[in-house]
């Protein structure tokens, strides 16, 4: 109903509106990660979201929810035939708690190296676990230290 010049102007205007809208889901400012955007683009449609929120699970929905259902162009399909939205990119992983380590009655600060003996240096990691590395340079008198006896 409009000419090619006016159609180009309208298309360009909508392009600029979308690019300038900070709430448009594809813009960097919207806050979606690249994996979240991939999940949104690969998901089926608004129809599947409506299906997921309906009581009846054997319902039918138009393939394109924004058009009238029709036998040829927009048939009714079962809800389970529509691709669901993958919500895994939105999963929040728990933050590991910084817990001090306890070993032989001594408390060691999280993340700091601890010299357990002349032959053993450890670091306190997640969940209160010590991860240790032996040092052969401290093996001058292995009989005086239980760690040095094992290491040397």
**Where in the sequence is the domain holding 78, given as residue range(s)?**
4-90
CA distance 114 to 118: 11
* Sole residue written with tokens 């340079």: 137
* Boundary of a domain, candidates 41, 69, 90: 90
Q: Are residues 9 and 66 in the same domain?
A: yes
* Boundary of a domain, candidates 90, 110, 141: 90
> Is residue 96 in some structural domain?
no
CA distance 26 to 21: 10
Q: Are residues 61 and 116 in the same domain?
A: no
CA distance 45 to 39: 12
* Sole residue written with tokens 């040095």: 148
Indicate whether this model's pTM tops 0.85: no
Which tens digit of pLDDT belongs to each residue from 11-70?
999 888 888 887 777 777 777 888 888 888 877 678 888 888 888 767 888 878 888 888
What is the count of structural domains for the chain? 2
DSSP H or E segment with residue 72: none
Q: Are residues 118 and 70 in the same domain?
A: no
> Is residue 95 in some structural domain?
no
């Amino acid at each position: 109903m409009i000419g090619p010049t006016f159609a180009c102007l309208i298309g360009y205007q909508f392009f600029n509106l979308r690019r300038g809208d900070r709430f448009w889901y594809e813009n960097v400012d919207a806050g979606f990660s690249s994996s979240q955007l991939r999940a949104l683009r690969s998901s089926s449609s608004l129809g599947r979201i409506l299906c997921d929120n309906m009581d009846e699970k054997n319902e039918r929905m138009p393939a394109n929810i924004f058009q009238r259902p029709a036998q040829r162009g927009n048939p009714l399909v079962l809800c389970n035939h529509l691709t669901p939205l993958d919500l895994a990119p939105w999963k929040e992983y728990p933050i590991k708690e910084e817990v001090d380590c306890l070993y032989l009655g001594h408390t060691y600060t999280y993340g700091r190296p601890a010299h357990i003996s002349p032959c053993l240096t450890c670091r306190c990691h997640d969940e209160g676990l010590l991860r240790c590395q032996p040092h052969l340079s401290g093996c001058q008198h292995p009989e005086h230290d239980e760690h040095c006896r094992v290491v040397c």
